[in-house]
Structure 1
Amino acid sequence: MKTAAAVLAVLLATTPTAPSPDGGLSQTVDPNQSQATGRVVLDTGHVDIGPRLQDGRWSIQIHDDHAVPSVWREPADTVLHVRDTALLEVPDDPAYAFLGAQPGEKVHVVPQTEKQGVVWIGWNTQDPAVMQAISRGVTLSLRGAQGPGDVTVYLQSGNLGAPQVLWNTAKPLPQPLWVETNTHTHANWVFTKPGNYQLAVDVTADLADGSTASASTMLRLAVGDATAPDYDTAFTAPPAAASGSAAAAAPDAREASSSFAAPALIGAGALAVLIIGGLVFRQSTVRRRAEREREATR
């Protein structure tokens, strides 16, 4: 019969080092940060998707913080490569049924806290020109998706609370997400099958001067070591919504995401410690195994 101490030892043995107090989310963006050119594959380090305002032109770009010094990159020239170092087993827990994968099945997980050897994908609204121009925040919408499997983006709090799904390509699109001004957030990105994915993303913002701005882009992701990064596959996503209709969707997005927008607002200091997806997966699986062992020894 296993003792409580033995069960605790199993839990401790499978728990990785705790994340830093701020989860690595504290950052500022240099207003003079340069624009990189040329095609690149990013398979490790910190990257953010975010709106950028240059000479009156709005765009969505990739903030590459892995480069020294940090640079902005065009999504058309960038492939985010999720290596097999991101593989994890889906836990035997009905709370993760939304992933669309069976318990024990291996999926690629980019966790919401940085993991060595895995590209760390987040988003920010920290471009200084953007922060000066927008009123309260932006609506970041997933408009379309193409790939061999499903993609799910979700948040989970450090106390192992219920997952909060932000985007799920198995559900009807578009899916709006409200993001406050001066926000830097990372979530768990789960890909159910290896291969190349294209995600159509829009951003819409109500500006301080009363006008509305919008921009669109296509994110390219290669999932799995055996997947060759693809810059060229065409994908015709549903057309972007007009500025008026996209702006009208923002209040619903604010309401749906109100529980995580404040913790992610680094500029206001309201940061909650976020837990990596791998830790959540492992602890859930170990917890279930321990429960089964206790039942078997009674």
Structure 2
Amino acid sequence: MLATGHADLVSVFLGSGTLTVAGQSDVDRKATRFDPARTTVNVTDAALRPAPGSPAYDFLGVPAGTPIHVIPQTFQPGVLWAGWNTEAIPRGALAGDSVDITLNQARGPGLVEVYLTGLDGPERVWSSRNPGPRTLRTAVPTHAHANWAFTAPGVYELEFVASATAASGAPLVSAPVRYVIVVGPLAAAPTRTTLDVAETVGGLRLTGRVSGGPAHLDGGVPTGWMEFHRHYADRDDVVDHVAVDGGSAVLPVPDEPDALGYTARFVPAFHDLVAPSESPTVANPRAPPGAIVVGVRDRYTAGDTITATALVTPAQPDHTISWWTRKGSTTTPRGTTGVLTITATTDLDGAELGYDLIDTKGNAVASARAVPLRVSPAPPPTSTSPTTGPTVGPSTTTTSGPGAPPTTTTEPCVATEVTRTVRPGEVEVVTDGHFDYGPVIEGGTLTARVKDDRQGTPTWRDPSGYVFHLTDTARTTPPAGSGYDFLGSGPVWTIPLTQRPGIPWIGWNTQHPSVLGAVTGDVTMTLESVNGPGKLAVYGQDPFGGVGDRYFGTVEGFPRSTAIPAGRSGVHVHGVWAFTAPGSYSVTFAFTTTANGRPLTTKSTLAFHIGPGDPAAARPASTVVDQVGRTPSGQECALGTRGLADTGASGDVLFGLIVAATLLIPLGLLLTNVATLAAARRRR
């Protein structure tokens, strides 16, 4: 079950010439792939909010003020943060480096709308009621997030399919994949199971039927298996399991003259969505005389209700049932009806439950085999706090430098510093792709690195090697009265909340394994200074376009620092970066934390160039310190494959501290992300 933290719900993979749609979530420091067909996604009431009154959000299809659930586009602790991802597909493998992700079908008690928010209003991505927003053409590689709105609580089914054209020209289409999303409190829907036992030539035909289940899951017909049980005077056994088809399961069985009765138990395919149930025991029409106890579970928790049924063959309507429990030498009368109901208490743990059959003269003419009772104490009330996880790239081993294969030596691979000077004009000017900025512990010292996800496998690099260039693609003007008065009345250049073509997408994180292994509290990220022609504001947005969290900035009313949790899995955050004037900026940050009981701090500078001019001039000559893999004998090796001696990271975290030996990439090699919405394909 997935309810909090970071998840790329719709992730597209390419392997052996086949496209596959699956999910990825952050578990214990790494991205873990999951099968949507076997995973329940829960949008809890932490995502509940009133629908907006702005006409721009009329596409939500509900009146203003209606309570709806919205997975936000911006990371919020304790709320699921859902997006999509194509970073696992190698660049050049698909024509145009793009893939179409289509919402093939959507069923549920309300409407589903997935949309992006920005200063220029909402942009729809997928819609359950409008055939227009059904297909998203997204670039390779892309990692994006949006708002996911559900207008009514209940169970939803969303089916996605991916399609593309291979570089060879061959069409590629994935198998459709179903996502089950529970909106609101997660509770298993009750079911009801019945059993019919019919005589056949030489045997019996057992027919189990189940009803109930969420109306919008599998068409309201529960899926799973029917488990048929057979009861004897001295034992019980399982006859067989049969898959439920259309709500029923049929099992022919040979004649068993010693069997007193049969029971059908429904075993659901989704235990967290559909509850199991058991039929009343039905007597074998050819049963010999006997008495048994049926309906008692293997274990109870104190406070549960124990329901037991007396099955007597042949039926003796004029006889009386005398129930009892026995523990040690103490026997306690419990009732005289055919069905006994008592409350499970811990003093019943280890007791036996049975009954005597009393005739009209008061004589015990038969005794049922006693069944044991197992009762566990009720668990104490607990309060849980949601955990959040990092965004981690695919676990792919890379070499320590361009074109250098991993060595086969068994020597340890040690993170080794390589220092070089970057002259003006030699820096890499970045206009596209996904990056995160965050702390790394190297040799016991805190430093800042940029996590570069553009090649699928993340690398951690010195910030001094980059200039992030925001061209006029990032230029916009906040509408008057929109609540963004702190940006002024003129144009601003923004890095938006989700990845867009032609704009570098920069976030911040505490996801490096060296940090996760040493820091248990928060990392404080402080904006030390901004040197440039304008001001900077970094903030979140709520799902309806309003200003969300104010992280840091130099405009009035903005703080200078933000706390980033580390914990077991770290945190990955994106915000809007808004610059109020064109030109070159040097933005200096400090990271401060306590690791392994020692206070640590570091400072570094991000360079931005806004608008026209020479971006490379934004970064003066600087010394860059990169980390590469070296064995003690000096051989190049891939960090993360045989341990990270000086980073504090575990060797099984393959993405590790992987840093290329050089940062210099030809300026003409720019990413060509395409994240525009395409015309919807016809529903299959």
Q: Please confirm whether the aligned pair reaches a TM-score higher than 0.5, indicating the same fold.
A: yes
1:43 aligns with 2:431: yes
Change over 3 Å in CA distance of 1:59–1:227 after alignment to 2: same
After superposition, the C-alpha distances for 1:88-135 in whole angstroms (9 at most, x for unaligned) are: 111112511122x11xx3210111111121110100110011111101
Of 590, 599, 616, the match for 1:212: 599
Q: Which has the higher contact order (CA 8 A, sep 6+)?
A: 1
Contact in 1 for aligned 2:553/2:559 (Cα 8 Å) = no
After superposition, the C-alpha distances for 1:205-256 in whole angstroms (9 at most, x for unaligned) are: 122x32111111011111114343321189xxxxxxxxxxxxxxxxxxxxxx
- Could you tell me which runs of 5 or more consecutive residues in structure 2 were left unpaired when the two chains were aligned: 1-53, 60-119, 127-135, 137-142, 147-388, 402-419, 623-684
Contact in 2 for aligned 1:140/1:202 (Cα 8 Å) = yes
Q: Which residue of 2 aligns with 1:223?
A: 610
SS at match of 2:516: helix
**In structure 2, C-alpha distance between the alignment counterparts of 1:218 and 1:91, rounded to whole Å:** 31
Which protein is bigger by CA-based radius of gyration? 2
Change over 3 Å in CA distance of 1:10–1:75 after alignment to 2: closer
Of 466, 469, 472, the match for 1:81: 469
**In structure 2, C-alpha distance between the alignment counterparts of 1:91 and 1:34, rounded to whole Å:** 48
Contact in 1 for aligned 2:535/2:555 (Cα 8 Å) = yes
Contact in 1 for aligned 2:436/2:452 (Cα 8 Å) = yes
TM-score norm. by structure 2 comes to: 0.30
Change over 3 Å in CA distance of 1:141–1:9 after alignment to 2: closer
Query: Cα distance, 1:56 vs. partner?
Result: 2.2
**In structure 2, C-alpha distance between the alignment counterparts of 1:226 and 1:116, rounded to whole Å:** 20
**In structure 2, C-alpha distance between the alignment counterparts of 1:81 and 1:11, rounded to whole Å:** 35
Amino acid at match of 1:159: F
TM-score norm. by structure 1 comes to: 0.66
SS at match of 2:501: coil
1:190 aligns with 2:312: no
Query: Cα distance, 1:8 vs. partner?
Result: 5.8
Change over 3 Å in CA distance of 1:204–1:216 after alignment to 2: same
Q: Which residue of 1 aligns with 2:145?
A: 23
Amino acid at match of 2:545: L
Q: Between the two proteins, what is the percent identity of the paired residues?
A: 27
**In structure 1, C-alpha distance between the alignment counterparts of 2:122 and 2:510, rounded to whole Å:** 32
Q: Which residue of 2 aligns with 1:126?
A: 511
Query: Cα distance, 1:141 vs. partner?
Result: 0.4
Contact in 1 for aligned 2:470/2:503 (Cα 8 Å) = yes
**In structure 2, C-alpha distance between the alignment counterparts of 1:201 and 1:34, rounded to whole Å:** 30
- Comparing both structures, which one devotes a greater share of its residues to helix? 1
Amino acid at match of 1:218: T
Change over 3 Å in CA distance of 1:115–1:221 after alignment to 2: same
Contact in 2 for aligned 1:31/1:127 (Cα 8 Å) = no
Amino acid at match of 1:23: H
SS at match of 2:499: coil
**In structure 2, C-alpha distance between the alignment counterparts of 1:166 and 1:187, rounded to whole Å:** 8
**In structure 2, C-alpha distance between the alignment counterparts of 1:52 and 1:120, rounded to whole Å:** 20
Change over 3 Å in CA distance of 1:9–1:221 after alignment to 2: closer
**In structure 2, C-alpha distance between the alignment counterparts of 1:147 and 1:69, rounded to whole Å:** 33
Of 72, 92, 111, the match for 2:460: 72
Amino acid at match of 1:56: G
1:61 aligns with 2:61: no
- Comparing both structures, which one devotes a greater share of its residues to strand? 2
Q: How many residues align?
A: 224
Q: Which moved more, 1:41-50 or 1:11-20?
A: 11-20
Amino acid at match of 1:213: L
